[in-house]
Chain A
Amino acid sequence: MTQQLLTGWGMTAATRAEVCRPASADELSAALASGRAAGRGVIPRGLGRAYGDAAQNAGGTVIDLTGLNRVHSFDEGDPATGRAATITVDAGISLDALMRMLVPLGYFVPVTPGTRYVTVGGAIGSDIHGKGHHLEGSFCQHVDSMTLVLASGQSRLVSADDPDTAEAFWATAGGMGLTGIVLSATVRLRRIASAFLRVDTERADNLDDAMQRMSERDGEYRYSAAWIDSLSTGSVMGRAVLTRGDFAAVDELPVKLRKAPLAYGPSPKLAAPPWVPEGLLRTSTVRAFNEVWFRKAPRQHTGYESIPYFFHPLDGVLEWNRIYGRSGFIQYQFAVPLGAEQTVRDALGQLAAARCPSFLTVLKRFGPGNPGPLSFPIPGWTLTVDVPAALPGLGPLLDGLDERVVDAGGRVYLSKDSRLRPDALAAMYPRLGEWRAARAALDPDGVLHSDLSRRLGLT
């Protein structure tokens, strides 16, 4: 156990906690018991990729799950009956480790976010989504069952298919680690013939064009997302590069890839320097980057891309979060229902007007949501924007956007949040009461707490 200052990936609002890294289920129980006794609550933490304060617990205990990273069993399923392959793993294993193991065998994780450096436990606690959400939903929809260690120390196997435990399962899906600590989970896998994706790249002239293209043809692609030039204004506001595709069959691959179609070798190429000048990311540099990024994209093109290139481009730069400098950054991600396109348009317009230097602005069309009361995705649009925390006037700007999002029936993603106004939470998550009741049943003494839960009055 050590005292550590922790932040999320955005490197804002550091707080101190007692951090334990158990290496077994028994050590986990002991850490939970001592955290409970210390009286300032307990929260699990994985690889710290939540942008805000979801895996921090000021003055309390943080249980780092990355020491629990074993694979328990693997079932290759039965393609004849349609029974999916599954893998049962400790919650602390990363999607990176799973991919290294599974891709060469012809399997892929059901959902991957923009980074593979997340744990299975984190994927459940955030109910992560990826480029495939419009067809395949979010991570927890691919979890058969999980073992939840409750704050009392008891463990419970919960499953969406078991009427007795479905409520606990869905409260944990996107439950931000506040219902119990996921010890292990059985996850359904996707069969892949190759480790390469056939990707159609196309440019959209503005936001309306991008949305129209996505609305019309997203259904033809398993994976789809659009990068947006956040600084473009006027008639080209929201100009975008759409990249959509699916895993390729072996016989369609270019000849040189066919020899080893399941070859998978992700490796970070660069690390961000340990010290970055303040203000490296300013409007002018991002404008130049965006211009190049947009121009270099072909108007229309079909090509073959590796898994890291298509899904995890930023993982090529270790600790890229440091490029925002000492004051850190905020990732603002919201979702609004179909029909609320104007909210997305206004948000982009306001961010461009504030000269917000976001070089990672992503638009995605969500499919149906799931029964998780705190699960983020709702059918509609989600926009993700990176903003340096030092941007003048950022607080009021985002507070204003929150209001628009609420008016449209939308919400922000708690795993990204570090500044939401607490009074907006209930409007964004109308089933909050239901979640609180389920959490109260699982953690009646209110042991599980995080900076996020304190800040937003979540529990």
Chain B
Amino acid sequence: MNDALGGVQTALVLGGTSELALATLAALDLRPGAKVVLAGRDEDAMKQIRVPTSGGGSAEVTTLKWDAAHPASGPQVVAAASAALGDLDLVLVAAGILGDQARAEVDVEHCADILTVNLVGVAAAMLPAAERLRHQGHGTIIVFSSVAGLRGRRANYVYGASKAGLDALAEGVQSSLAGSGAHLLVVRPGFVRTKMTSHMESAPFATTPDVVGAAVADAVRKGREAIHVPRLLGPVFAGFRLLPRPVFRRLPG
């Protein structure tokens, strides 16, 4: 059960090595004795992960092999996590790949991979998770979307399209959960310096996983429905969405 101060006892991380998800868990108050399931592709890496709890301890972590490239496994991973955890206090939807835009434009398979992993595979796990939360009458889903989904940009529109789809899906699930006791928070980070972006040049408003984690934890406690990190990206992208296309095209990147 979540407690009055946002304390968490069980968490499922879809995308178990996600730096954003792990930073969020660290920033939240996982109660001593908390149980966490990390679900992802790289089991060796997930087995090395320590998730801290309040009071200086560590959560009891179990790992599940799950690949969002295989959407059919979505319901199974949620069922397996529920069997291990009981009620799901928190579900972090953080699986995703950045892909290679240039390659995706000429390689249909790569384009399909990005869309499958980031949207189809994630949806196939997120929807059963939402159903669980509706049934149990409480809990929070945190969906890591991206500002890239807010407008199709030349530099990353395949990734952007997958996140746009995810964002719409999340907003719909959020509405469907209204009054159910469960909540959904959409997180739209800008450029975050992680291993996923280590090969890229830093963009304006770049931030770090710890900053994102702290902002997400704060939003969960306050019951917010959507946040941008850094916060300034909210108005910036609201502005971008109003820009006429010819002007938008001329922006760098």
Contact = CB atoms under 8 A, between A and B. Distances in A.
Interface of A: 3, 5, 10, 12-17, 40, 52-53, 57-60, 327-328, 330, 389, 394-396, 398-399, 418-419, 421-423, 451, 454-455
A59 B135 contact: yes
Given A58-B136, A327-B222, A422-B31, A16 B1 contact: no
B4 to A, nearest CB: 3
Residue in B3, B86, B138, B182 whose Cβ sees the most chain A Cβ within 10 Å: B3
A456 to B, nearest CB: 9
A58 B1 contact: yes
A419 B137 contact: no
Given A15-B181, A454-B87, A395 B5 contact: yes
A12 B32 contact: no
Contacts of A53: 1, 3-4
A52 B5 CA distance: 11
B63 interface: no
B28 to A, nearest CB: 10
B82 interface: no
A12 B221 CA distance: 11
Given A396-B54, A399-B55, A59 B137 contact: yes
Given A59-B136, A395-B54, A419 B32 contact: no
B29 interface: yes
Interface in B1-20: 1-7, 9
Given A13-B4, A330-B5, A423-B32, A3 B179 contact: yes
Given A3-B179, A16-B179, A16-B180, 17 more contacts: A5-B181, A12-B3, A13-B4, A15-B137, A15-B138, A15-B181, A58-B1, A58-B137, A59-B136, A59-B137, A395-B54, A419-B7, A422-B31, A422-B33, A423-B32, A454-B86, A455-B3
B181 A395 contact: no
A327 B7 CA distance: 14
A423 B35 CA distance: 13
Interface of B: 1-7, 9, 29, 31-33, 54-55, 86-87, 135-138, 179-182, 222
Contact of A60 (B3, B4, B9, B137): B137
A88 B61 CA distance: 52
A40 B136 contact: yes
Contacts of A389: 4-5
Contact of B87 (A13, A58, A419): A58
A36 to B, nearest CB: 17
Nearest to B182: A16
Given A58-B136, A58-B137, A399-B55, A12 B31 contact: no
Contacts of B87: 58, 454
Residue in B29, B33, B137, B179 whose Cβ sees the most chain A Cβ within 10 Å: B137
Contact of B4 (A16, A52, A421): A52
A418 B4 CA distance: 5
Contacts, number: 87
Nearest to A10: B4
Contacts of B5: 12, 330, 389, 394-395, 398, 418-419
18 contacts: A12-B3, A13-B2, A13-B3, A16-B138, A16-B181, A16-B182, A59-B137, A327-B222, A330-B5, A389-B4, A399-B54, A399-B55, A418-B3, A418-B5, A421-B32, A421-B54, A422-B31, A454-B87
A59 B1 contact: no
Closest 8 CB pairs of A and B: A16-B181, A59-B137, A418-B4, A12-B4, A455-B1, A58-B137, A16-B137, A15-B138
A396 B7 CA distance: 11
State the main secondary structure of chain B at its contact with A: loop
Contacts of B32: 421-423
Contacts of B2: 13
Nearest to A59: B137
Residue in B4, B9, B179 whose Cβ sees the most chain A Cβ within 10 Å: B4
A422 B179 CA distance: 28
Contacts of A40: 135-137
Nearest to B133: A59
B82 to A, nearest CB: 12
A12 B180 CA distance: 16
A328 B5 CA distance: 10
Contacts of A419: 3-5, 7
Contacts of A398: 5
A327 B181 CA distance: 16
Contacts of B1: 13, 15, 53, 58, 451, 454-455
Contacts of B33: 421-423
Residue in A327, A389, A455 whose Cβ sees the most chain B Cβ within 10 Å: A455
A153 B135 CA distance: 25
Contacts of A455: 1, 3, 9
A127 to B, nearest CB: 22
Contacts of A15: 1, 137-138, 181
A394 B29 CA distance: 11
A17 B138 CA distance: 10
B137 A422 contact: no
Contacts of A10: 4
A422 B135 CA distance: 24
B174 to A, nearest CB: 15
Nearest to B181: A16
A375 B227 CA distance: 44
B9 A422 contact: yes
B176 to A, nearest CB: 13
A11 B33 CA distance: 25
Nearest to B1: A455
A383 B110 CA distance: 64
Contacts of B55: 399, 421
Contacts of A399: 54-55
Contacts of B182: 16
A398 B7 CA distance: 12
Contacts of B136: 40, 58-59
A10 B180 CA distance: 20
A407 B179 CA distance: 42
A19 to B, nearest CB: 11
Residue in A13, A59, A418 whose Cβ sees the most chain B Cβ within 10 Å: A59
